[in-house]
A and B are shown apart, each in its own frame.
Chain A
Amino acid sequence: MKEYSDAEIFELLRNPSSQREGFRMLVRGYRRRAYSLAIKMVFDHYDADDAVQEAFIKIWNKKEQMKEADKLKSWVFKIVSNEALQTLRTRKRKNLLFQRNTLGDEQEKYAIATHPFFSGDEIQKKFYKAMTALSGQQRNIFVMKYFEEMKYNEISEVTGLAVGTLKATYHQSVKKIKKELENV
């Protein structure tokens, strides 16, 4: 099936008669990247699945608010990362409430080890486990920069944070991961 550009998806979304087709193309175009962002933030497949699904439903419900075609990507990433951050916050609250392991602890490492689609080796597992030492926002920024190779100004559009803040956060995240990799 033909891959649609953001501009084409945007046009389809604007027209009520083609909205559903446009939305399907948007889901198809961004589902992998949305999942990739969510899973590297929450590390649990089922939580990531929920976050992605909820994010796309929010996108559908707010499609009229989408005003510019060239902002489509950052709009999608923003909603997905917000959902993932919300998942982390909820998880943290639950863990505190029930006095279970706190964020970044064994729970997430276990989720990585038991991920139903994990296809990597021990090196990759080690790296992901090191990433669990990052806070939610650090993960968000790190994934967009390191894995998605987004530019700082793009990440700034998604997070609403200044480029300087992003650079500092990314630098701290890299340092933290390096330290964790040495310790693991």
Chain B
Amino acid sequence: MSEKDLFGKEFESVRKNDALKPDQNYFDELEERIMSRTGKKKIRILKPILYGSVAAILLFALFFLLPDDSLKENPDNVIAMNSEAIIRNLDYYDIDESTIVSYLAETQKIIHKNELMQEEFRENLGIESEDDIIEYLIEEDINLDNEL
């Protein structure tokens, strides 16, 4: 018995006419959906950029959230940390912000260029805490422009 006669004449239309067949638009749209999911190369390039940016933002945020002790291990970080402390208290100490910025820039240069001067500078400023630096600057009434 062939497949045609399996269920009798009454059901012949089941094979002849697929009643569950969507229209052409549906198949065109399905094809486009499938094709759009295969064009993932752009996403592969974009993803690292996206993740990189997020990671950079997180690291940046983490830097400011780190406890002070973790910064003390690196003199450059100490300078950065202390500069923030000074800038935060500019109004109180009546020091011009641009002065501090240039001072810090020059300080960093000096530290990198001259080890001896760096040691002396660290001794004089007493890098143990932010307060030490601020106190030192006030007590000695240091004109930072002149010092440098």
Known contacts A35-B22, A117-B20; A27 and B35 CB within 8 A of each other: yes
Of the residues B6, B15, B21, contact of A117 by C-beta under 8 Å: B21
Contact A123 B31 (CB under 8 A): no
- In the complex, B113 has a CB within 8 A of chain A: no
Task: With CB as the reference atom, state the residue of chain A lying closest to B39.
Answer: A20
Specify the chain B residue showing the minimal Cβ separation from A61.
B38
CB atoms of A123 and B27 under 8 A apart? no
Are A31 and B27 touching (Cβ within 8 A)?
Answer: yes
- Across the interface, which residues of A come within 8 angstroms of B26, CB to CB? 117
Is A139 an interface position by the 8 A CB rule? Answer: no
| Interface-lining segment among A51-59, A76-84, A95-103, A154-162 | A51-59
B-contacting 9-mer, from A4-12, A67-75, A86-94, A143-151? A143-151
Binary per-residue interface labels of chain A (108-124) against chain B in the complex, 1 for a CB within 8 Å, 0 otherwise: 00001001111111011
Interface string of B29-58 (1 = CB under 8 A from A): 011011101110000000000000000000
B19 touches A146 (CB 8 A): no
Q: Which of the residues B7, B22, B37, B39 comes within 8 Å of A127, measured between beta carbons? A: B7
Q: A36-B18, A119-B19, A178-B7 in contact; A24/B31 too (CB < 8 A)? A: yes
How many B residues have CB within 8 A of the partner chain?
Answer: 25
**B19 pairs with A36, CB closer than 8 A:** no
- B21 with A36: CB separation less than 8 A: yes
Other-chain residue from B6, B17, B38 in contact with A57 (beta carbon distance below 8 A): B38
Mostly, the A contact residues are helix
Q: Is A120 a contact of B13 with CB atoms below 8 Å?
A: yes
Whether B19 and A118, one on each chain, are in contact in the complex, defined by CB atoms closer than 8 angstroms, is yes
Chain B residues with CB below 8 A from A45, complex form: 20, 22
Max chain A C-beta neighbours (<10 A), residue from B10, B13, B17, B30? B30
- Point out the residues of chain A lying under 8 angstroms from B30, CB to CB: 31, 35, 49, 52-53
Residues in B whose Cβ lies below 8 Å from that of A163? none
Nearest-neighbor residue (CB-CB) of A147 within chain B: B15
Given pairs A27-B31, A146-B3, 8 additional interface contacts (CB within 8 A): A20-B39, A31-B30, A45-B22, A60-B38, A118-B20, A119-B19, A120-B20, A128-B14
A-B contacts, 15 of them at CB < 8 A, read: A20-B35, A23-B35, A28-B31, A31-B31, A39-B20, A40-B20, A45-B22, A57-B34, A57-B38, A115-B20, A123-B13, A124-B14, A124-B17, A145-B3, A146-B3
